[in-house]
């Protein structure tokens, strides 16, 4: 039955809500059937602030997706973002029972639980524990220890956690529709699934998902997640800066940013101006192009520098081989890869979903990276754990259903 392989990803973003319907094929590839979207209201900085309104918008987007892909959506994967999400690396350790010397699935589960035995604030819940590497009796870099002989199994995990109630809000928003929530996924983790190839993950890469309200990042080294997090700044801040500096309404500032704005300075003629037209098409205010670009440049540069400082707290940024990949709505800003390359001092690319088939108009748009990434993530999870496992673990922390 085809609907079994149907996976749906929902991203509740600050500027838009986007639903991607995908179909997993027997050969393991993914095809996008349709994309639904709706402008987002009631969301600030990646978090829901007006529940009712946000719910209506999600509903709109879901209906849109159902119409475009001609399927009934019942269950959904949801991404979460927001400044409250934090992460750290931790090592778990278990001893293999005396009566056997072969490591089995149960030990893997146990070591995961032991890695989670760290104190996070009481109000927080675990989102992900992502395996980095296993160590068996001190042997490093084991990728899959099942079946190996050993006494002591250790595992490094990257653990992502966030404020429970805020995550629950997102889940509730979907459940009220009503739709089944299959899983919640940290948005940058989802984006990375489609923006990066396995090869790039192995080389080491940084994915920066710059959305409207937040900038989410995730750093891969040696194919494993080493650092991740969220900065509560995004494209809205750029727009806000423009609106305040030029004293124009937000909507006008947003349009100006998209149509005329650039992150690169010194790229225009001295004194070159942009004529702002008012609603009736008459000439209104005149602004200097360099002014606009300076405002954008200052803000975006600051975001990158802040991010770089955050990443430099740990050594992993030095092991990036493939470079920086910028995705999300903000990556459409002209010259952003140039600025990112300058700030991070490494090759930078504006990237969109790569490893997927179907509607090109959908996957070539970096705004959909997270939602597409969700279905890729879902596919990977479903393949790996047919029935239980992940759901069971997650279910402990989010009791939905």
**Footprint of another protein (CB under 8 A):** 44-45, 49, 83, 231-233, 236-237, 240-241, 243-246, 250, 287-288, 291, 294-295, 298-299, 302, 306, 309
Q: Which is nearer to another protein, 200 or 239 (CB)?
A: 239
Q: Is 128 in a helix, a strand, or coil? A: strand
Q: Is 275 in a helix, a strand, or coil? A: strand
Q: Which is nearer to another protein, 252 or 299 (CB)?
A: 299
Q: How far is CA 220 from the centre of its chain?
A: 13
Report the nearest approach of another protein to the CB of residue 309 (Å): 8
Q: Which is nearer to another protein, 8 or 208 (CB)?
A: 208
Distance CA 375, CA 31 (A): 10
Q: Which is nearer to another protein, 140 or 314 (CB)?
A: 314
Closest by Cα among 155, 64, 74 to 109: 155
Distance CA 372, CA 378 (A): 10
Q: Which is nearer to another protein, 260 or 288 (CB)?
A: 288
Q: Which is nearer to another protein, 270 or 401 (CB)?
A: 270
Tokens at 234, concatenated: 């995004």
Closest by Cα among 136, 143, 155, 160 to 92: 155
Distance CA 3, CA 17 (A): 23
Tokens at 85, concatenated: 């999400």
Q: How far is CA 366 from the centre of its chain?
A: 11
User: What does 198-256 look like in DSSP terms, one character per residue?
Assistant: HHHHHH-EEEEEE-SS-EEEEEEETTEEEEEEEES--HHHHHHHHHHHHT--HHHHHHH
Report the nearest approach of another protein to the CB of residue 234 (Å): 10
Q: Which is nearer to another protein, 237 or 376 (CB)?
A: 237
Distance CA 27, CA 231 (A): 37
Q: Which is nearer to another protein, 202 or 240 (CB)?
A: 240
Report the nearest approach of another protein to the CB of residue 227 (Å): 16
Closest by Cα among 91, 136, 96, 95 to 118: 91
Q: Is 280 in a helix, a strand, or coil? A: coil
Report the nearest approach of another protein to the CB of residue 306 (Å): 6
Report the nearest approach of another protein to the CB of residue 251 (Å): 11
Question: What is the 8-class DSSP label of residue 17?
Answer: E
Q: At which residue do the structure tokens 């602004």 appear?
A: 287
- Report in angstroms the alpha-carbon separations of 150 from 94, 113, 131, 192: 11, 19, 19, 33
| Neighbouring-strand partners of residue 31 | 23, 357
Report the nearest approach of another protein to the CB of residue 240 (Å): 4
Q: Which is nearer to another protein, 63 or 306 (CB)?
A: 306
Report the nearest approach of another protein to the CB of residue 171 (Å): 20
Report the nearest approach of another protein to the CB of residue 239 (Å): 8
Report the nearest approach of another protein to the CB of residue 348 (Å): 20
């Amino acid at each position: 039955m085809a609907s079994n392989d149907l996976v749906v990803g929902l991203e509740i973003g600050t500027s838009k809500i986007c639903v991607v319907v995908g179909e997993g094929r027997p050969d393991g590839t993914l095809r996008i059937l349709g994309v639904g979207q709706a402008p987002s209201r009631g969301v600030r900085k990646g978090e829901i602030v007006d529940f009712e309104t946000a719910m209506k918008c999600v509903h709109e987007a879901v209906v849109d997706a159902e119409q475009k892909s001609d399927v009934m959506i019942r269950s959904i994967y949801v991404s979460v973002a927001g400044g409250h999400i934090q992460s750290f690396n931790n090592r778990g350790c278990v001893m293999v029972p005396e009566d056997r010397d072969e490591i089995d699935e149960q030990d893997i589960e146990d070591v995961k639980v032991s890695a989670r035995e760290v104190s996070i604030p009481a109000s927080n819940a675990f989102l992900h524990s992502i395996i980095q590497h296993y160590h068996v009796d001190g042997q490093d870099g084991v990728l899959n220890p099942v079946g190996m002989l050993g006494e002591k199994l250790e595992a490094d995990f990257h653990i992502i956690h966030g404020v429970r109630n805020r995550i629950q809000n997102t889940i509730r928003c979907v459940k009220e529709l009503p739709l089944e929530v299959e899983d919640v996924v940290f948005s940058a983790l989802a984006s990375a699934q489609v923006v990066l190839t396995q090869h790039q993950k192995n080389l080491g890469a940084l994915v920066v998902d710059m959305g409207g309200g937040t900038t989410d990042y995730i750093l891969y080294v040696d194919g494993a997640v080493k650092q991740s997090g969220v900065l509560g700044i995004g494209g809205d801040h750029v727009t806000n800066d423009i609106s305040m500096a030029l004293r124009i309404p937000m909507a006008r500032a947003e349009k100006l940013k998209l149509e005329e704005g650039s992150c690169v300075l010194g790229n225009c003629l001295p004194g070159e101006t942009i004529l702002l037209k008012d609603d009736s098409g008459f000439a209104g205010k005149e602004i200097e192009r360099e002014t606009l670009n300076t405002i954008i440049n200052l803000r975006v540069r600051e975001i990158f520098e802040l991010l770089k400082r955050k990443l430099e707290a740990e050594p992993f940024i030095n092991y990036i081989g493939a470079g920086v990949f910028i995705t999300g709505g903000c990556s459409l800003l002209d010259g952003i890869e140039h600025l990112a390359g300058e700030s991070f001092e490494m090759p930078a690319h504006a990237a969109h979903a790569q490893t997927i088939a179907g509607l090109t108009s959908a996957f070539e748009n970096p705004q959909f990276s997270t939602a597409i990434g969700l279905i890729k993530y879902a596919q990977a999870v479903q393949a790996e754990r047919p029935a239980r496992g992940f759901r069971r673990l997650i279910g402990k922390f989010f009791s939905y259903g």
